Amino acid sequence: MGSQIPKQFLELDKKPVLMRSIEAFTSFDPSIEIILVLPEDQIQYWNELCKKYSFNTEVTLANGGENRIESVRNGLSKIKGEGIVFIHDGVRPLVSQQTIQNCNEGALKNGSAIPVIKLTDSIRQLTDGKNVSVDREKYRLVQTPQTFEVKLIKKAFVHAKGSHFTDDASIFETAGQTVTLVEGNIENIKITRSIDLKIANMLFTENT
């Protein structure tokens, strides 16, 4: 990102990205319980930002782990009772209300719902120094929130180990569960590079 400030705390239309991501879910359901997983050394900074921006949404804080699996497991441990859990990247503030609704309905019906979008570029597969063209219609780009029935995803995480899992759906699938795909939204980009933040600012201001 070219910034000393962690990307989730950079401003998106005058408010930290992470707050915008949380607001997407509280707009969908004001009663939703928010569990925020952060590195322990960022929690004080988060609390300071909440005061600075008068951000009063109640959140339950959980410490991040050494890798994604441990961080999500720590967040899941804070859930009391049953229901549906949305596991979302804090740097995806442009998730649409429709995508959240698609995930909610899919998880309620099937136990899981993963938002995906079609590829528009041609793709090639690399194998042993060679490359071949593959049919892009057979592939999808995966987004978040990856959404699950609480008891099913908690069970999947019991034996999950290692840092090779890139998302929660892979863990769910490895545990023998079926991953259900639902339609995501193309604006739901993950802010990773400086250009992503510029695009997000443009999209956000156009839609507000």
Q: Residue 65: inside a domain, yes or no?
A: yes
Whether the predicted pLDDT of 76 surpasses 80: yes
Give the global pTM: 0.94
Q: How far apart are CA 190 and CA 196, in angstroms?
A: 7
Whole domain around residue 118: which residue ranges? 7-206
Q: Residue 2: inside a domain, yes or no?
A: no
Q: Residue 94: inside a domain, yes or no?
A: yes
End-to-end CA distance of the chain: 25
Percent of the chain scoring above 70 in pLDDT: 98
Average pLDDT over residues 103-123: 97
Q: Residue 49: inside a domain, yes or no?
A: yes
Q: How far apart are CA 190 and CA 62, in angstroms?
A: 22
pLDDT at res. 166: 86
Greater pLDDT, 99 or 160: 99
Q: How many structural domains comprise the chain?
A: 1
CATH code of the domain covering residue 99: 3.90.550.10
pLDDT at res. 208: 67
Q: Residue 97: inside a domain, yes or no?
A: yes
Q: How far apart are CA 198 and CA 192, in angstroms?
A: 11
Q: Are 84 and 108 in contact (CB under 8 A)?
A: yes
Q: What is the pLDDT of residues 142-199, one digit of tens each?
A: 999 999 999 999 999 998 877 678 899 999 999 999 999 999 999 999 999 999 999 9
Across the strands, what pairs with 87?
A: 146
Q: Residue 16: inside a domain, yes or no?
A: yes
Q: Residue 1: inside a domain, yes or no?
A: no
The residue ranges of DSSP E strands in 74-151, in sequence order, are: 84-87, 112-118, 123-127, 130-134, 140-142, 146-149
Q: Residue 118: inside a domain, yes or no?
A: yes
